[in-house]
Amino acid sequence: MADSEPNWEWYRSFLQVLETGSLSAAGRALGLTQPTVGRHIDGLEAALGLKLFIRSFDGFSPTDAAQELSPYAAGIAATAAALRRAASSHGSGVRGTVRLTASEVIGVEVLPPILAALHRKHPELVIELVVSDRTDDLLHREADIAVRMFQPVQDALVAKRVAGIGLGLYAHERYLADRGVPRSMDALSGHAVIGFDHESAFIRRFQEQVPAFSRDRFAFRADSGLAQLGAIRAGLGIGACQSALAARDKRLVRVLRSQFSLSMDAWIAMHEDLRASPRCAATFAALAAGLAAYAKSA
């Protein structure tokens, strides 16, 4: 291994080549030329004394060493991005960049009006929203603030339960006009039911409460909450939906209210080191108030 410390830009190029499998695609993502990315990879390999990629006519394949180093490089990337966000906030007032992470449904259907009001109040605030059902790691600064449907357990986080979001079974009025309204959970066997594809910890807890809502009954399966919501809105069948969200569309009708009525806890969390950050404190407070109001709108 060379004595010189690898340049940070080399790690960025390494991660992009690892993700895209080619110098040209990595260059496009980073705004660099293909030869520049190639020099970065060559420099990193020389500095580490390791072969990171196997070059072939159809792209770059990562070696075992590259796969092992990947999470460390990703950690460096997350820390560097967090550093830039913190630096951007220095100055008077609430300003700078805040990186949020939320599930698909919350991020697309619920947060935009909350964030719009926040931006009107603090126009120098920049929001980066990561819409994903993957759990980003706040401890490693992949995001500053997370909206989650479960209680965070890490000790280094500031977490607040802000609302209980009701969940019910809904169908488009057009579907119910064609197929009729089920009168019991057992009657769902004669209907097109919308649900998950792969189990998760939340799904397993969900099934403990509603055993009849099982994968083998579903006529439409998707792990994407947005895809399930889209199927309900299109009249494909009956599926679980947040009651506050369904209330926005009068064509969505709730069924089996007494037999299917659940509540999901909505939590907001951030690293405790960000408690004194004006940009994060203002965003945290706006999210807490906005999500509480959303939950009450059902």
Dump pLDDT digits (tens) for 71-106. 888 888 777 777 777 777 676 678 888 999 999 999
> Judging by beta carbons within 10 Å of its beta carbon (0-12, 13-18, 19+), is residue 137 exposed, middle or buried?
middle
Q: What is the pLDDT of residues 121-175, one digit of tens each?
A: 999 999 999 887 666 555 556 788 999 888 877 767 888 999 999 999 999 999 9
More confident residue, 226 or 205: 226
Answer for the pair 67, 74: CB distance below 8 angstroms, yes or no. no
- Could you tell me the pTM of the whole model? 0.71
Confidence of residue 201 (pLDDT cuts 50, 70, 90): low
CATH of domain 87-163+265-296: 3.40.190.10
Domain boundaries, the chain: 8-82, 87-163+265-296, 164-263
Question: What is the DSSP annotation of 160-214?
Answer: EEEEEEEEEEEEEHHHHHHH----SSGGGGGS-EEE-SS--HHHHHHHHH-TT--
CATH of domain 164-263: 3.40.190.10
> Judging by beta carbons within 10 Å of its beta carbon (0-12, 13-18, 19+), is residue 106 exposed, middle or buried?
buried
Answer for the pair 58, 51: CB distance below 8 angstroms, yes or no. no
Distances (CA, A) of 284 to 97, 100, 113, 290: 13, 10, 15, 10
Task: Report helix, strand or coil for 298.
Answer: coil
Torsion of CA 18, 24, 25, 26, to 10 degrees: 50
Q: Two tokens at 197? A: 């594809």
Q: Two tokens at 255? A: 């069924």
Which pLDDT belongs to residue 135?
A: 61
> Measured between alpha carbons, how far is 107 from 238 in angstroms, rounded to an integer?
23
Q: Would 87-163+265-296 and 164-263 be classified into the same CATH topology?
A: yes
Answer for the pair 186, 212: CB distance below 8 angstroms, yes or no. yes
Pick the CATH number of 8-82 from 3.90.1010.10, 3.40.50.300, 1.10.10.10, 3.40.1080.10: 1.10.10.10
